[in-house]
Structure 1
Amino acid sequence: MSRVRVMRQPQVGVLQTNKVLRNTYALLAMTLLFSAFTAWLSMALNLPHPGLIVTLVGYFGLLFLTQKFSNSAWGLLFVFLLTGFMGMTLGPILSLYLKFIPNGHQIVMTALGGTGLIFLGMSGYALVSRRDFSFLGGFLFAGILVAFLAGLGAIFFHLPGLALAVSAMFMVLMAGLILFETSQIVHGGETNYILATVTLYVAIYNLFTSLLHILGFLAGDE
């Protein structure tokens, strides 16, 4: 009997990992669609951007609640509130590109396509290679903290060059975060699909906005 249990244990681990992956990608797809809907709604209603303080308070507040209730059904509610809120903040930014920049549609679509390719490439590599990228955790945490603080400095001191550098940093860091989080799921380091979804969503959101900023700058429209 002990041999049977020993041989069956890896199968249980694989089944659990596959379940987390399926649930994560399913919830991620739904939250991305919901976020796209709230962004469209924000654009249709011509809502102004809520501003930096409201955005940060709303983001970190909803992120805290999502993490706090991640093991209950409330976690699903808060993850949709979080991603819907972020979609609402994205709407005015997209309106700016689409209405006031001559090639804004092309920039937005290029940023969207680039984000999709990077996500598929990073997550696909982690899934296929089965390599453990947990060693990236400390680097990513420190890098995101530095980039976040630098981004605040660029906003408060009106430094467009620093803002562009921060966008480039976030692109690299978010690509690494997708690789790291997918690897965590594959190797059992992350077993909560709600938390995994939030991490991947945040990576995709920041990757898209950073790429949008860089493309806008390269096009000479910022």
Structure 2
Amino acid sequence: MANPSAISTQGRTLEINRVLRNTYMLLSMTLLFSAFTAGISMAIGITPMMGLGLSIGSFILLFVTLRKAEGASGLLWIFAFTGAQGASLGWILNHYAGMANGPMLIMQALGMTAAIFIGLSLYVITTKKDFSFMRGFLFAGLIVMVLAVIANIFIGSAPLFLALNAGIALLMTGFILFDTSRIVNGGETNYIRATVSLYLNFINLFMSLLHLMGMGGDD
């Protein structure tokens, strides 16, 4: 007679693997779609104000996506969100692309982001280590960073900008470990919400690394 406990464990493992598979498939698709919309906004040459408008729009779409994540329309909303988010980055990418070796700089930041993301994800998936203990530290750090970013809008300090991006990069590596751990250990069972979390980690890590790498050639 089959052991009910073993059957339950096997079913839970299959469910976790299903969420992992769907999450990384959807993450790949949304990142590619963001790259596509970012390319369009670069070609159009959107202004910083247009980028700000798209950022605000994507922020609203983020909340809609999370609310609709359990329904059939969740897939539509996540592509709307990631498309707007990618488009909002067009003017920033054009700024760096206009610098000496700008395109190479963007590709280096993207490659470094992908290497860090894949490396940390594989570590968590392989070891199945639980990083839930980082929750309080990460969310406290996120609040501090958001407040500091808002403050620097008015201060306009280049050294603080550099420090903030270094802090954001470090914070995002922690979130990659934390969010991947939640999926691997069954803490997140909705692949749309899981994709949103990992997508934001990837994009924020990429932008912070791009800012750090571009500081040398930025006036």
TM normalised by structure 2 equals 0.95
Code of the residue aligned with 2:35 in structure 1: it is A
Q: Quick one: which amino acid aligns to residue 217 of structure 2?
A: G
4+ residue stretches of structure 1 with deviation over 2 A? 49-57, 219-222
Task: Judge conservation of contact 1:65–1:78 (CA < 8 Å) in 2.
Answer: yes
Q: Distance in 2 between matches of 1:37 and 1:53?
A: 19
Corresponding residue number in structure 2 for 1:178 = 176
* 2:208 is the counterpart of 1:210: yes
State the superposition RMSD in angstroms: 1.5
5+ unaligned residues in a row in structure 1: which ranges? none
Measure, in 1, the Cα distance between the counterparts of 2:42 and 2:51: 18
Report if the CA contact (8 A) 1:155-1:163 is conserved. Answer: no
Q: Aligned-pair distance for 1:5? A: 1.9
One-letter identity of the residue aligned with 2:7: R
Residue type at the aligned position of 1:4: N
Shift in alpha-carbon separation, 1:204–1:145, aligned structure 2, 3 A: same
Q: CA deviation at 1:60?
A: 2.5
Q: Work out the CA distance in 2 between the residues paired with 1:170 and 1:145.
A: 11
Kept after mapping to 1: 8 A contact 2:23/2:192: yes
Q: CA deviation at 1:46?
A: 1.4
Q: Tell whether 2:156 aligns with 1:158.
A: yes
The separation in 1 between residues aligned to 2:63 and 2:39, in whole angstroms, is: 26
Change (3 A) 1:55 1:170: farther
CA shift digits 1:114-163 (9 cap, x unpaired): 10011011111111111100111111111111101101111222111111
Question: 8 Å contact 2:51–2:91 — kept in the other structure?
Answer: no
Distance 1:53 1:47 in 2: 10
Deviations along 1:100-124, whole A, 9 cap, x unmatched? x112122111101110011011111
In the aligned structure 2, how far is the partner of 1:213 from the partner of 1:72? 37
Match of 1:111 in 2: 109
Counterpart residue type for residue 150 of structure 1: A
185-194 or 67-76, which deviates more: 67-76
The percent of aligned pairs where both chains have the same amino acid is 49
Count residues in correspondence.
Answer: 219
Other-structure match for 1:194: 192
Q: How big is the shift at 1:55?
A: 4.7
Cα distance change on mapping 1:206 and 1:197 into 2, 3 Å: same
Indicate the residue corresponding to 1:40 in structure 2.
Answer: 39
What residue in structure 1 maps to residue 139 of structure 2?
141
SS in 2 for 1:84: helix
Unmatched 5+ residue regions in structure 2?
A: none
